[in-house]
Protein backbone atom coordinates (compact mmCIF):
# COMPACT_ATOMS: atom_id res chain seq x y z
CA UNK A 1 0.00 0.00 0.00
CA UNK A 2 1.60 3.32 -1.03
CA UNK A 3 1.92 6.06 1.58
CA UNK A 4 1.00 9.66 0.82
CA UNK A 5 2.21 12.90 2.37
CA UNK A 6 0.17 16.04 1.84
CA UNK A 7 1.44 19.50 2.80
CA UNK A 8 4.39 21.84 2.40
CA UNK A 9 7.57 20.53 0.78
CA UNK A 10 11.05 21.97 0.35
CA UNK A 11 13.70 20.43 -1.90
CA UNK A 12 16.95 21.59 -3.52
CA UNK A 13 17.11 21.62 -7.30
CA UNK A 14 20.66 22.92 -7.80
CA UNK A 15 23.42 24.69 -5.90
CA UNK A 16 21.61 27.97 -6.42
CA UNK A 17 17.93 27.12 -6.34
CA UNK A 18 15.38 25.18 -4.37
CA UNK A 19 11.67 24.62 -4.53
CA UNK A 20 9.36 25.71 -1.70
CA UNK A 21 5.96 24.19 -2.49
CA UNK A 22 3.16 24.95 -0.01
CA UNK A 23 0.69 22.31 -1.29
CA UNK A 24 2.33 19.08 -2.43
CA UNK A 25 1.11 15.52 -2.54
CA UNK A 26 3.97 13.01 -2.49
CA UNK A 27 3.54 9.26 -2.95
CA UNK A 28 5.99 6.71 -1.51
CA UNK A 29 5.98 3.17 -2.91
CA UNK A 30 6.12 0.00 -0.82
CA UNK A 31 9.84 -0.18 -1.64
CA UNK A 32 10.39 3.23 -0.08
CA UNK A 33 10.91 5.06 -3.36
CA UNK A 34 9.22 8.34 -4.27
CA UNK A 35 6.69 7.27 -6.92
CA UNK A 36 5.32 10.70 -7.85
CA UNK A 37 4.92 14.25 -6.57
CA UNK A 38 2.00 16.52 -7.48
CA UNK A 39 2.35 20.24 -6.80
CA UNK A 40 -0.18 23.01 -6.21
CA UNK A 41 -2.78 20.59 -4.88
CA UNK A 42 -5.08 22.91 -2.92
CA UNK A 43 -7.15 21.31 -0.14
CA UNK A 44 -10.22 21.57 -2.34
CA UNK A 45 -8.40 19.56 -5.07
CA UNK A 46 -7.04 16.82 -2.86
CA UNK A 47 -9.78 14.24 -3.51
CA UNK A 48 -9.64 14.88 -7.26
CA UNK A 49 -5.87 14.46 -7.27
CA UNK A 50 -6.14 11.19 -5.34
CA UNK A 51 -8.82 10.04 -7.79
CA UNK A 52 -6.49 10.84 -10.71
CA UNK A 53 -4.10 8.28 -9.22
CA UNK A 54 -6.86 5.76 -8.53
CA UNK A 55 -6.55 6.20 -4.76
CA UNK A 56 -9.63 8.09 -3.59
CA UNK A 57 -11.93 5.23 -2.62
CA UNK A 58 -9.47 3.17 -0.64
CA UNK A 59 -10.63 2.91 3.01
CA UNK A 60 -7.08 1.95 4.05
CA UNK A 61 -5.51 4.95 2.37
CA UNK A 62 -2.32 5.82 4.26
CA UNK A 63 -2.38 9.61 4.02
CA UNK A 64 -0.22 11.77 6.32
CA UNK A 65 -1.52 15.35 6.34
CA UNK A 66 1.08 17.85 7.53
CA UNK A 67 -0.07 20.62 9.83
CA UNK A 68 0.42 24.35 9.38
CA UNK A 69 4.05 25.06 10.37
CA UNK A 70 5.26 21.63 9.22
CA UNK A 71 7.08 20.75 6.03
CA UNK A 72 8.81 17.84 4.33
CA UNK A 73 12.42 18.09 3.23
CA UNK A 74 15.21 15.67 2.24
CA UNK A 75 17.15 14.15 5.14
CA UNK A 76 20.55 15.57 6.06
CA UNK A 77 23.74 13.94 4.82
CA UNK A 78 26.67 13.98 7.23
CA UNK A 79 29.64 13.31 4.95
CA UNK A 80 32.20 13.08 7.76
CA UNK A 81 31.95 12.14 11.42
CA UNK A 82 33.76 9.99 14.00
CA UNK A 83 31.37 7.69 15.88
CA UNK A 84 33.85 6.86 18.70
CA UNK A 85 34.50 10.52 19.45
CA UNK A 86 30.92 11.33 20.51
CA UNK A 87 31.74 10.86 24.23
CA UNK A 88 34.28 13.69 23.81
CA UNK A 89 31.95 16.35 22.41
CA UNK A 90 32.39 19.66 24.16
CA UNK A 91 35.78 18.88 25.66
CA UNK A 92 39.38 19.51 24.66
CA UNK A 93 38.80 22.50 22.46
CA UNK A 94 41.85 24.32 23.82
CA UNK A 95 43.98 22.25 21.44
CA UNK A 96 44.83 22.41 17.77
CA UNK A 97 44.64 19.25 15.68
CA UNK A 98 47.85 17.31 16.36
CA UNK A 99 47.85 17.92 20.14
CA UNK A 100 44.11 17.31 20.29
CA UNK A 101 44.59 13.89 18.67
CA UNK A 102 47.24 12.91 21.22
CA UNK A 103 45.63 14.38 24.33
CA UNK A 104 41.93 13.88 23.77
CA UNK A 105 41.07 11.72 20.80
CA UNK A 106 43.39 8.71 20.80
CA UNK A 107 42.79 7.97 24.52
CA UNK A 108 39.03 7.84 23.90
CA UNK A 109 39.27 5.82 20.68
CA UNK A 110 41.51 3.27 22.43
CA UNK A 111 38.60 2.42 24.75
CA UNK A 112 36.78 0.82 21.85
CA UNK A 113 38.96 -2.27 22.21
CA UNK A 114 36.18 -3.17 24.66
CA UNK A 115 33.19 -4.39 22.62
CA UNK A 116 30.81 -3.75 25.53
CA UNK A 117 31.79 -0.09 25.66
CA UNK A 118 31.59 0.08 21.86
CA UNK A 119 28.09 -1.39 21.77
CA UNK A 120 26.52 0.93 24.34
CA UNK A 121 28.30 3.99 22.99
CA UNK A 122 27.48 3.28 19.36
CA UNK A 123 23.80 2.66 20.17
CA UNK A 124 23.64 6.20 21.56
CA UNK A 125 25.70 7.71 18.74
CA UNK A 126 23.55 6.26 15.98
CA UNK A 127 20.25 7.14 17.70
CA UNK A 128 21.45 10.71 18.22
CA UNK A 129 22.63 11.07 14.63
CA UNK A 130 19.30 9.84 13.24
CA UNK A 131 17.27 12.02 15.61
CA UNK A 132 19.23 15.06 14.44
CA UNK A 133 17.81 14.33 10.97
CA UNK A 134 20.84 12.62 9.42
CA UNK A 135 19.53 10.03 7.00
CA UNK A 136 22.94 9.23 5.46
CA UNK A 137 26.09 9.27 7.58
CA UNK A 138 29.75 8.61 6.71
CA UNK A 139 31.23 7.16 9.89
CA UNK A 140 34.83 6.72 10.91
CA UNK A 141 35.16 3.93 13.48
CA UNK A 142 38.36 3.10 15.36
CA UNK A 143 41.17 0.69 14.48
CA UNK A 144 39.21 -2.14 16.14
CA UNK A 145 37.56 -4.66 13.85
CA UNK A 146 35.03 -5.99 16.38
CA UNK A 147 33.89 -2.56 17.50
CA UNK A 148 33.54 -1.35 13.92
CA UNK A 149 31.52 -4.43 12.96
CA UNK A 150 29.22 -3.57 15.89
CA UNK A 151 28.88 -0.02 14.59
CA UNK A 152 27.84 -1.37 11.17
CA UNK A 153 25.37 -3.80 12.80
CA UNK A 154 23.78 -1.05 14.87
CA UNK A 155 23.49 1.34 11.92
CA UNK A 156 21.95 -1.51 9.91
CA UNK A 157 19.42 -2.43 12.57
CA UNK A 158 18.46 1.20 13.25
CA UNK A 159 17.83 1.71 9.53
CA UNK A 160 20.17 4.62 8.80
CA UNK A 161 21.87 4.84 5.39
CA UNK A 162 25.60 4.88 6.05
CA UNK A 163 29.20 4.27 5.12
CA UNK A 164 31.20 2.62 7.90
CA UNK A 165 34.99 2.43 7.93
CA UNK A 166 37.67 0.99 10.19
CA UNK A 167 40.58 3.39 10.67
CA UNK A 168 43.89 2.40 9.11
CA UNK A 169 46.81 3.72 11.15
CA UNK A 170 50.16 2.02 11.61
CA UNK A 171 52.52 4.86 12.50
CA UNK A 172 52.80 8.24 14.25
CA UNK A 173 50.26 6.96 16.76
CA UNK A 174 50.67 6.09 20.46
CA UNK A 175 51.83 2.55 21.31
CA UNK A 176 48.47 1.85 22.97
CA UNK A 177 46.54 2.81 19.82
CA UNK A 178 48.22 1.64 16.64
CA UNK A 179 47.95 -1.28 14.22
CA UNK A 180 50.97 -3.58 14.39
CA UNK A 181 51.55 -3.97 10.64
CA UNK A 182 50.28 -3.26 7.16
CA UNK A 183 49.19 -6.89 6.80
CA UNK A 184 47.02 -6.81 9.91
CA UNK A 185 45.52 -3.45 8.98
CA UNK A 186 44.60 -4.70 5.50
CA UNK A 187 43.34 -8.04 6.72
CA UNK A 188 41.03 -6.39 9.27
CA UNK A 189 39.85 -3.97 6.60
CA UNK A 190 38.99 -6.87 4.29
CA UNK A 191 37.11 -8.61 7.10
CA UNK A 192 35.06 -5.50 7.78
CA UNK A 193 34.19 -5.12 4.09
CA UNK A 194 33.08 -8.75 3.98
CA UNK A 195 31.05 -8.36 7.16
CA UNK A 196 29.22 -5.26 5.95
CA UNK A 197 28.54 -6.76 2.55
CA UNK A 198 27.01 -9.82 4.15
CA UNK A 199 24.41 -7.82 6.12
CA UNK A 200 20.87 -8.60 4.90
CA UNK A 201 19.77 -6.28 2.07
CA UNK A 202 17.06 -3.79 2.96
CA UNK A 203 16.80 -1.90 -0.32
CA UNK A 204 15.18 -2.55 -3.70
CA UNK A 205 17.33 -5.01 -5.72
CA UNK A 206 18.70 -2.37 -8.14
CA UNK A 207 19.77 0.02 -5.33
CA UNK A 208 22.99 -0.03 -3.31
CA UNK A 209 22.59 -1.49 0.19
CA UNK A 210 21.80 0.94 3.00
CA UNK A 211 25.09 0.26 4.78
CA UNK A 212 28.29 0.22 2.74
CA UNK A 213 31.94 -0.21 3.70
CA UNK A 214 34.40 2.65 3.19
CA UNK A 215 38.21 2.55 3.11
CA UNK A 216 39.41 4.83 5.92
CA UNK A 217 43.11 5.70 6.00
CA UNK A 218 42.95 8.07 9.00
CA UNK A 219 45.19 10.60 7.28
CA UNK A 220 48.52 10.35 5.46
CA UNK A 221 50.53 10.99 8.63
CA UNK A 222 49.21 7.88 10.37
CA UNK A 223 49.91 5.51 7.45
CA UNK A 224 53.23 4.18 6.19
CA UNK A 225 53.91 4.27 2.43
CA UNK A 226 53.48 0.52 2.49
CA UNK A 227 50.00 0.79 4.04
CA UNK A 228 48.88 3.53 1.63
CA UNK A 229 50.18 1.42 -1.23
CA UNK A 230 48.23 -1.66 -0.08
CA UNK A 231 45.10 0.42 0.41
CA UNK A 232 45.58 1.77 -3.12
CA UNK A 233 45.78 -1.84 -4.41
CA UNK A 234 42.61 -2.72 -2.53
CA UNK A 235 40.87 0.33 -3.96
CA UNK A 236 42.01 -0.52 -7.50
CA UNK A 237 40.67 -4.04 -7.13
CA UNK A 238 37.19 -2.64 -6.38
CA UNK A 239 36.33 0.66 -8.03
CA UNK A 240 32.96 0.72 -6.19
CA UNK A 241 34.64 1.04 -2.80
CA UNK A 242 34.23 4.51 -1.33
CA UNK A 243 37.32 6.05 0.33
CA UNK A 244 37.32 8.63 3.12
CA UNK A 245 40.22 10.49 4.66
CA UNK A 246 41.33 13.88 5.99
CA UNK A 247 43.17 16.50 3.97
CA UNK A 248 44.74 19.88 4.53
CA UNK A 249 43.03 20.69 7.81
CA UNK A 250 45.75 22.34 9.85
CA UNK A 251 49.04 24.09 9.02
CA UNK A 252 51.24 21.82 11.20
CA UNK A 253 49.57 18.72 9.79
CA UNK A 254 50.25 19.85 6.22
CA UNK A 255 53.89 20.67 6.97
CA UNK A 256 54.44 17.30 8.63
CA UNK A 257 52.76 15.42 5.78
CA UNK A 258 55.21 17.05 3.37
CA UNK A 259 58.13 16.00 5.58
CA UNK A 260 56.92 12.39 5.67
CA UNK A 261 56.07 12.17 1.96
CA UNK A 262 58.57 14.11 -0.15
CA UNK A 263 57.76 13.77 -3.88
CA UNK A 264 60.81 11.57 -4.53
CA UNK A 265 59.45 9.02 -2.03
CA UNK A 266 56.12 8.60 -3.85
CA UNK A 267 55.37 5.82 -6.33
CA UNK A 268 55.98 6.95 -9.90
CA UNK A 269 52.92 8.16 -11.79
CA UNK A 270 51.70 5.90 -14.60
CA UNK A 271 52.29 7.22 -18.15
CA UNK A 272 48.53 7.83 -18.40
CA UNK A 273 48.58 10.32 -15.48
CA UNK A 274 47.29 13.76 -16.34
CA UNK A 275 48.83 17.17 -16.05
CA UNK A 276 47.02 17.89 -12.76
CA UNK A 277 48.56 14.82 -11.12
CA UNK A 278 52.06 15.83 -12.26
CA UNK A 279 51.69 19.36 -10.94
CA UNK A 280 50.39 18.24 -7.52
CA UNK A 281 53.25 15.83 -6.74
CA UNK A 282 54.66 17.85 -3.86
CA UNK A 283 51.35 18.54 -2.16
CA UNK A 284 49.14 16.78 0.38
CA UNK A 285 46.57 15.84 -2.29
CA UNK A 286 49.46 14.61 -4.41
CA UNK A 287 50.25 11.97 -1.77
CA UNK A 288 46.77 10.42 -1.95
CA UNK A 289 46.81 10.74 -5.73
CA UNK A 290 50.15 8.95 -6.02
CA UNK A 291 48.79 5.98 -4.06
CA UNK A 292 45.58 5.73 -6.12
CA UNK A 293 43.40 7.00 -3.30
CA UNK A 294 42.10 10.10 -5.02
CA UNK A 295 39.23 9.21 -7.30
CA UNK A 296 35.53 9.77 -8.11
CA UNK A 297 34.38 8.19 -4.82
CA UNK A 298 36.91 9.70 -2.42
CA UNK A 299 35.55 11.89 0.39
CA UNK A 300 38.13 14.42 1.55
CA UNK A 301 37.35 15.98 4.93
CA UNK A 302 38.26 19.64 5.58
CA UNK A 303 40.37 20.97 2.67
CA UNK A 304 40.88 24.22 4.59
CA UNK A 305 44.25 25.21 3.12
CA UNK A 306 44.20 23.59 -0.33
CA UNK A 307 46.69 24.95 -2.87
CA UNK A 308 45.47 25.73 -6.39
CA UNK A 309 47.22 22.67 -7.84
CA UNK A 310 45.48 20.49 -5.26
CA UNK A 311 42.10 21.90 -6.21
CA UNK A 312 42.95 21.05 -9.83
CA UNK A 313 43.88 17.45 -9.07
CA UNK A 314 40.83 16.94 -6.82
CA UNK A 315 38.67 18.21 -9.66
CA UNK A 316 40.48 16.12 -12.27
CA UNK A 317 40.03 12.93 -10.24
CA UNK A 318 36.41 13.71 -9.38
CA UNK A 319 36.83 13.52 -5.60
CA UNK A 320 34.50 15.41 -3.23
CA UNK A 321 35.10 17.61 -0.21
CA UNK A 322 33.38 17.37 3.16
CA UNK A 323 33.21 20.90 4.56
CA UNK A 324 33.46 20.75 8.37
CA UNK A 325 33.21 24.37 9.53
CA UNK A 326 32.21 23.71 13.16
CA UNK A 327 35.30 21.60 13.64
CA UNK A 328 37.45 24.03 11.67
CA UNK A 329 36.43 26.87 13.98
CA UNK A 330 36.62 24.75 17.12
CA UNK A 331 40.14 23.40 16.51
CA UNK A 332 41.30 26.77 15.13
CA UNK A 333 42.06 25.13 11.80
CA UNK A 334 40.82 27.95 9.55
CA UNK A 335 38.05 28.84 7.13
CA UNK A 336 37.72 26.62 4.05
CA UNK A 337 37.10 28.57 0.85
CA UNK A 338 34.06 26.61 -0.13
CA UNK A 339 32.83 29.17 -2.65
CA UNK A 340 35.99 28.73 -4.71
CA UNK A 341 35.59 24.92 -4.61
CA UNK A 342 32.00 25.24 -5.79
CA UNK A 343 33.07 27.55 -8.63
CA UNK A 344 35.60 24.90 -9.71
CA UNK A 345 32.75 22.40 -9.95
CA UNK A 346 34.03 20.25 -7.09
CA UNK A 347 31.40 18.23 -5.21
CA UNK A 348 30.95 19.65 -1.69
CA UNK A 349 28.87 18.40 1.26
CA UNK A 350 28.86 19.08 5.01
CA UNK A 351 30.45 17.09 7.83
CA UNK A 352 29.89 17.43 11.57
CA UNK A 353 33.36 15.95 12.24
CA UNK A 354 32.41 15.01 15.80
CA UNK A 355 34.25 15.62 18.08
CA UNK A 356 36.46 18.16 16.33
CA UNK A 357 32.97 19.57 15.79
CA UNK A 358 30.97 19.73 19.01
CA UNK A 359 27.54 18.96 17.58
CA UNK A 360 26.24 15.86 15.80
CA UNK A 361 23.63 18.02 14.03
CA UNK A 362 24.08 19.12 10.45
CA UNK A 363 21.98 22.16 11.42
CA UNK A 364 24.91 23.44 13.47
CA UNK A 365 27.19 22.78 10.50
CA UNK A 366 24.87 24.73 8.20
CA UNK A 367 25.00 27.70 10.58
CA UNK A 368 28.79 27.57 10.75
CA UNK A 369 29.09 27.12 6.98
CA UNK A 370 27.16 30.36 6.61
CA UNK A 371 29.37 32.20 9.11
CA UNK A 372 32.51 30.71 7.55
CA UNK A 373 31.50 31.98 4.11
CA UNK A 374 30.92 35.44 5.60
CA UNK A 375 34.35 35.43 7.27
CA UNK A 376 35.92 34.46 3.93
CA UNK A 377 33.96 37.21 2.16
CA UNK A 378 34.90 39.82 4.80
CA UNK A 379 38.58 38.93 4.68
CA UNK A 380 38.85 38.64 0.89
CA UNK A 381 41.42 41.08 -0.52
CA UNK A 382 39.02 42.18 -3.26
CA UNK A 383 35.29 42.26 -3.45
CA UNK A 384 33.67 39.87 -5.92
CA UNK A 385 32.84 41.28 -9.32
CA UNK A 386 29.35 41.07 -10.75
CA UNK A 387 29.68 37.45 -11.82
CA UNK A 388 27.26 35.03 -10.27
CA UNK A 389 29.98 32.80 -8.78
CA UNK A 390 30.35 31.76 -5.14
CA UNK A 391 34.02 32.73 -4.62
CA UNK A 392 34.43 35.12 -1.68
CA UNK A 393 30.70 35.56 -1.29
CA UNK A 394 28.41 34.55 1.55
CA UNK A 395 26.54 31.35 0.78
CA UNK A 396 22.80 31.87 0.25
CA UNK A 397 20.15 29.66 1.88
CA UNK A 398 19.68 27.68 -1.35
CA UNK A 399 23.37 26.74 -1.35
CA UNK A 400 23.37 25.87 2.36
CA UNK A 401 20.37 23.60 1.80
CA UNK A 402 22.14 21.99 -1.16
CA UNK A 403 25.33 21.37 0.82
CA UNK A 404 23.34 19.74 3.64
CA UNK A 405 21.39 17.42 1.32
CA UNK A 406 22.01 16.93 -2.41
CA UNK A 407 25.62 18.16 -2.28
CA UNK A 408 26.36 15.62 0.45
CA UNK A 409 24.65 12.91 -1.60
CA UNK A 410 26.91 13.73 -4.55
CA UNK A 411 30.01 13.59 -2.34
CA UNK A 412 29.19 10.07 -1.22
CA UNK A 413 28.17 8.80 -4.64
CA UNK A 414 24.42 8.84 -3.98
CA UNK A 415 23.65 11.95 -6.02
CA UNK A 416 21.05 10.21 -8.17
CA UNK A 417 19.43 8.31 -5.30
CA UNK A 418 18.86 10.63 -2.31
CA UNK A 419 19.21 14.31 -1.37
CA UNK A 420 16.14 15.52 -3.22
CA UNK A 421 12.41 14.84 -2.93
CA UNK A 422 11.74 13.85 -6.52
CA UNK A 423 10.28 10.81 -8.31
CA UNK A 424 12.67 7.87 -8.63
CA UNK A 425 14.65 8.73 -5.50
CA UNK A 426 14.53 6.97 -2.16
CA UNK A 427 12.23 8.57 0.40
CA UNK A 428 14.96 9.70 2.80
CA UNK A 429 13.13 12.61 4.33
CA UNK A 430 12.30 14.68 7.38
CA UNK A 431 9.04 16.03 8.68
CA UNK A 432 10.07 19.35 10.22
CA UNK A 433 7.89 21.49 12.46
CA UNK A 434 8.55 25.06 13.48
CA UNK A 435 5.38 25.26 15.56
CA UNK A 436 5.96 26.61 19.06
CA UNK A 437 4.31 23.54 20.58
CA UNK A 438 7.42 21.47 19.71
CA UNK A 439 9.29 23.32 22.45
CA UNK A 440 11.95 25.27 20.60
CA UNK A 441 11.09 28.95 21.11
CA UNK A 442 14.02 30.01 18.93
CA UNK A 443 12.10 29.29 15.72
CA UNK A 444 9.04 31.29 16.87
CA UNK A 445 7.22 33.15 14.12
CA UNK A 446 4.65 35.88 14.71
CA UNK A 447 3.14 35.20 11.29
CA UNK A 448 2.73 31.50 11.98
CA UNK A 449 1.14 32.21 15.35
CA UNK A 450 -1.32 34.55 13.65
CA UNK A 451 -2.29 31.79 11.24
CA UNK A 452 -2.72 29.26 14.00
CA UNK A 453 -4.95 31.71 15.92
CA UNK A 454 -7.14 32.09 12.85
CA UNK A 455 -7.37 28.31 12.53
CA UNK A 456 -8.10 27.85 16.25
CA UNK A 457 -11.02 30.27 16.07
CA UNK A 458 -12.52 28.27 13.24
CA UNK A 459 -11.38 30.60 10.45
CA UNK A 460 -10.08 29.68 7.06
CA UNK A 461 -6.59 28.26 7.07
CA UNK A 462 -5.77 30.39 4.06
CA UNK A 463 -2.79 32.66 4.37
CA UNK A 464 -3.37 35.47 6.88
CA UNK A 465 0.19 36.58 7.60
CA UNK A 466 0.79 40.20 8.43
CA UNK A 467 3.67 41.01 6.10
CA UNK A 468 2.01 40.60 2.74
CA UNK A 469 4.06 37.49 1.95
CA UNK A 470 2.97 34.80 -0.44
CA UNK A 471 2.67 31.28 0.93
CA UNK A 472 5.86 30.38 -0.90
CA UNK A 473 7.74 33.25 0.74
CA UNK A 474 6.34 32.22 4.09
CA UNK A 475 7.60 28.65 3.56
CA UNK A 476 11.02 29.98 2.53
CA UNK A 477 11.05 31.94 5.81
CA UNK A 478 10.20 28.77 7.75
CA UNK A 479 13.08 26.91 6.11
CA UNK A 480 15.53 29.70 6.92
CA UNK A 481 14.41 29.85 10.56
CA UNK A 482 14.73 26.08 10.85
CA UNK A 483 18.22 26.09 9.34
CA UNK A 484 19.48 28.90 11.57
CA UNK A 485 17.48 28.45 14.82
CA UNK A 486 16.24 24.86 14.65
CA UNK A 487 17.44 21.83 16.56
CA UNK A 488 16.42 18.21 16.99
CA UNK A 489 13.15 19.23 18.67
CA UNK A 490 12.03 20.50 15.27
CA UNK A 491 12.90 17.20 13.54
CA UNK A 492 9.61 15.39 14.14
CA UNK A 493 9.96 12.34 11.89
CA UNK A 494 12.94 10.86 10.06
CA UNK A 495 12.43 8.42 7.18
CA UNK A 496 15.07 6.33 5.40
CA UNK A 497 14.02 4.37 2.31
CA UNK A 498 10.42 5.01 3.33
CA UNK A 499 10.84 3.57 6.82
CA UNK A 500 10.24 5.70 9.92
CA UNK A 501 13.53 5.45 11.83
CA UNK A 502 13.68 8.42 14.19
CA UNK A 503 12.73 11.96 15.16
CA UNK A 504 10.92 13.38 18.21
CA UNK A 505 7.66 11.58 17.36
CA UNK A 506 9.36 8.22 16.90
CA UNK A 507 8.81 5.55 19.51
CA UNK A 508 10.66 2.27 19.14
N1 LIG B 1 39.24 16.57 12.77
C2 LIG B 1 39.99 15.47 12.77
N3 LIG B 1 41.08 15.45 11.99
C4 LIG B 1 41.83 14.34 11.98
N5 LIG B 1 42.95 14.05 11.30
C6 LIG B 1 43.30 12.80 11.65
N7 LIG B 1 42.45 12.28 12.53
C8 LIG B 1 41.52 13.22 12.76
C9 LIG B 1 40.38 13.26 13.60
O10 LIG B 1 40.02 12.33 14.32
N11 LIG B 1 39.65 14.42 13.55
ZN1 LIG C 1 37.55 13.98 11.02
Class for the domain spanning 3-74+423-502: mainly beta
> If you ran DSSP here, which 8-state letter would residue 376 be given?
H
Ligand 1 pocket member 330 (CB < 6 A): no
Q: Supply the residue whose CA is at minimum distance from atom 7 of ligand 1.
A: 218
Confidence of residue 90 (pLDDT cuts 50, 70, 90): very high
**pLDDT value of residue 322:** 99
What is the pairing mode between strands 18-28 and 3-12? antiparallel
**What kind of fold does domain 76-379+395-411 have according to CATH?**
TIM Barrel (3.20.20)
Parallel/antiparallel/unpaired status of strands 167-168 and 211-217 = parallel
| In the predicted structure, residue 39 carries a pLDDT above the cut 70 | yes
- CA–CA distance, 301 with 247 (Å, rounded to integer): 6
pLDDT tens digit sequence for 322-369: 999 999 999 999 999 999 999 999 999 999 999 999 999 999 999 999
Q: Is 232 in the pocket of ligand 1 (CB under 6 A)?
A: no
SS3 186: helix
Q: Examine the pLDDT at 464 and tell me if it is beyond 50.
A: no
Q: What are phi and psi of 326, to 5 degrees?
A: -65, -45
The sign one gets for the Cα dihedral 171, 174, 178, 180 is positive
Q: What's the pLDDT at 420?
A: 98
Given the CA of residue 327, which atom of ligand 1 is nearest to it?
Answer: 1
**Domain segments of the chain as ranges:** 3-74+423-502, 76-379+395-411
∠ CA 172-176-179 to the nearest 5 degrees?
60
Minimum-distance ligand 1 atom for the alpha carbon of 357: 1
Cα-to-centroid distance, 503 and ligand 2 (Å):
25
Sign of the CA dihedral with 224 first, then 228, 230, and 234 last: positive
- Classified as helix, coil or strand, 135 is strand
Average pLDDT rounded to a whole number, residues 483-501: 98
pLDDT of residue 37: 98
Average pLDDT, the chain: 95
Which H/E stretch holds residue 37? Answer: strand 34-38
- Whether residue 173 contacts residue 217, with contact meaning beta carbons closer than 8 Å, is answered with no
Q: Please name the residue ranges forming H helices in 318-418.
A: 325-330, 338-343, 362-379, 397-404, 406-411
- Does the reported pTM lie above 0.90? yes
Alpha carbon of 248 to those of 219, 245, 289, 292, 479: distances in Å? Answer: 10, 10, 14, 18, 32
Beta bridge mates, 163: 138, 212
Give helix 182-197 / helix 225-237 axis angle, nearest 10°: 30
Count of CA atoms in the C-beta half-sphere (13 A) of 278: 6
| Pocket probe mutation, ligand 1, options 246, 260, 326, 336, max atoms within 8 Å of Cβ | 246
Decide if pLDDT at 35 tops 60.
Answer: yes
| Ligand 1 lined by 80 (C-beta under 6 Å) | no
Amino acid sequence: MPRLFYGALVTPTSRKEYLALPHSLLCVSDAGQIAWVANNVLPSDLQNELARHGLSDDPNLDLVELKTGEFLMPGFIDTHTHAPQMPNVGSGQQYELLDWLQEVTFPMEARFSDPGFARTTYETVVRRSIDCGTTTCCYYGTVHLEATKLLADIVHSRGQRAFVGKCNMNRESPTYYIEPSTEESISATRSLIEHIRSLPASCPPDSPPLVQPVLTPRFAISCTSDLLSSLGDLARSDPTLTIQTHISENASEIAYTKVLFPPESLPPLPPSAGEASRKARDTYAGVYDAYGLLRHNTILAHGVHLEDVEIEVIKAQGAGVSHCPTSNFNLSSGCAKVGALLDKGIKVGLGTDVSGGFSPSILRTVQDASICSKVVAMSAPSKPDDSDGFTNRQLPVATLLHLATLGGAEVCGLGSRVGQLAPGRAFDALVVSIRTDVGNPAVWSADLDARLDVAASGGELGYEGGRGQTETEELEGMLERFLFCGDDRNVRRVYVQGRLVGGKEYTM
